[in-house]
Structure 1
Amino acid sequence: MAAEQRKLLEQLMVESQRLSLNDPKVCRPFCVDFCVHELFAGTKLVLGPCGRIHSERLRSEYSSMDKIPAFEREFYRQLDLVIAERREAIEAAAKKLELTDDDLAQIEDATRDLVEAETENELLVDEINELARCRVIARAVTQIPALAAAQRNLTTKQQAVKTLFEGLGFSAHQKLQVCTQTTLPANCTRDTQKFKQL
């Protein structure tokens, strides 16, 4: 297996030495600055491998000569496409997190029910504690089944709120947010506004 890989690498290196800047197999954006396929390496947004050859020799050759407008245009066109795709993905994700009036009404009803259940539970606990403090034990004991029922009701309401929030794209403690950062990586040294001038 290693021998096959070495042979393939040697073959690619020989082929790379024969390539010129105008060869269609060459990745022009890589020669200009970088290939957009390298942008999101190691993330779930990875674009996959580039189908063209990345030659450091040709990149060095290009950097030592006058810029070729066709190369520059292709580089900026690819950047614009990636930026447009990311913006569309951000907008689509943001729409998924928007709440409808019905969603807001469900949240309001569920949280109101939860607050009522919590209040009922707290009042029963306070009442039982007060009865015990006043040594009215028989009366305090008669309230224990009501407290158990209130606690079951509270647990049911808490679960209902949790289920509702999870169904609406929330975690139990924090609303999901869409990252809107569209800044290019640090290895991008070009100004995309230059594309308009080409």
Structure 2
Amino acid sequence: MAAEQRKLLEQLMGGGLAARTAQLPLTDPKVCRSYIVGTCPHDLFTNTKADLGPCPRVHSEPLKNEYEALSEAEKKKLGFEWDYMRDLQNRIEACNRNIETLQRRLEKTPDEVRQTNALLKAISDLSATITNGLLEVEILGEMGEVARAYDEYYKVRQAMVAKAEREKELKALSETSGPSGHQKLQVCDVCGAYLSRLDNDRRLADHFFGKMHLGFAQMRKAYEAFPKEMRQRAGRGGPPPVHHDEDGPSGGYDSWGKGGRGRRGEGYGRRSRRGW
């Protein structure tokens, strides 16, 4: 969909956008490096609740092909994979924070916790009353105290009714407490969408094969595919690993770690630290 929209825009502008894009070098800071290396997150969630809007950077298929034609050593010098990984990391961390927030909203309030504990205590006390009462009825029956046994059994029956009412109240509180209400909501740990435990298989399949869920699943899979050392370094906020060649440290990795990419990529390096 995003690619079709770009093509339509190029046609409306008489090919001007395509011409300007073709003039950009691969290392231009206006080029979307996530798109060059893999898939830009802006393209994953169009027309969904997680829609990020159009990417502010240039998506160029010729530049993507140019990058794919480079050797692994040349790709490492550019450091585009590091930028792509950091972009994925920022998106995933934002999603995880949203998941934590939504999960907290589903928790019971302090008042609901107090009500639950009070009902549980009442049910426990009534259960003890019923057990002791039945034992008393049995003893009185053996002693021939029929009238007293009948009176005690009447008390036991009242306790049974009260216990059933408290259990009913507890069940209602459990089903309606919190914003989840009777729907028994839970949060998807991949995309952060609300799911209902009452949903049938068809509705669950619509979610798990939906564009938003698949988009976040694709981002998480792409991020996990990066070497563990790179992910740990990024998680600690450290600079990307320096790439060495015969002339010493060079390329995007080293310059990014110093706060930029040299004269051509200076702005891009700083923006990458804040997320896109």
Distance 1:40 1:62 in 2: 25
Shift of 1:41: 2.5
Match of 1:192 among 208, 226, 236: 226
Counting aligned pairs with the same residue, the percent is 33
Query: Which residue of 1 is the match for residue 178 of structure 2?
Result: 168
Distance change (3 Å), C-alpha of 1:13 and 1:34: same
Query: Which residue of 2 is the match for residue 82 of structure 1?
Result: 91
SS class of match (1:79): helix
Query: Which residue of 2 is the match for residue 103 of structure 1?
Result: 112
**Structure 2, gaps ≥5 residues long:** 1-7, 123-167, 192-215, 232-239, 242-276
SS class of match (1:26): coil
Which is strand-richer, 1 or 2?
2
Query: Which residue of 1 is the match for residue 188 of structure 2?
Result: 179
Matches within 5 A, 1:49-198: 49-66=54-71, 67=75, 68-106=77-115, 168-172=178-182, 174-181=183-190, 184-185=217-218, 189=222, 191-193=225-227, 195-196=230-231, 198=241
* TM-score computed with the length of structure 1 as normaliser: 0.61
Distance 2:100 2:63 in 1: 38
**Structure 1, gaps ≥5 residues long:** 113-156
* TM-score computed with the length of structure 2 as normaliser: 0.45
Cα pair 2:92 2:219 within 8 Å, conserved: no
Distance 2:11 2:66 in 1: 26
Give the aligned residue type for 1:85: A
SS class of match (1:180): coil
Distance 1:34 1:60 in 2: 13
Give the aligned residue type for 1:181: V
Shift of 1:170: 2.6
SS class of match (1:177): strand
Distance 2:38 2:180 in 1: 41
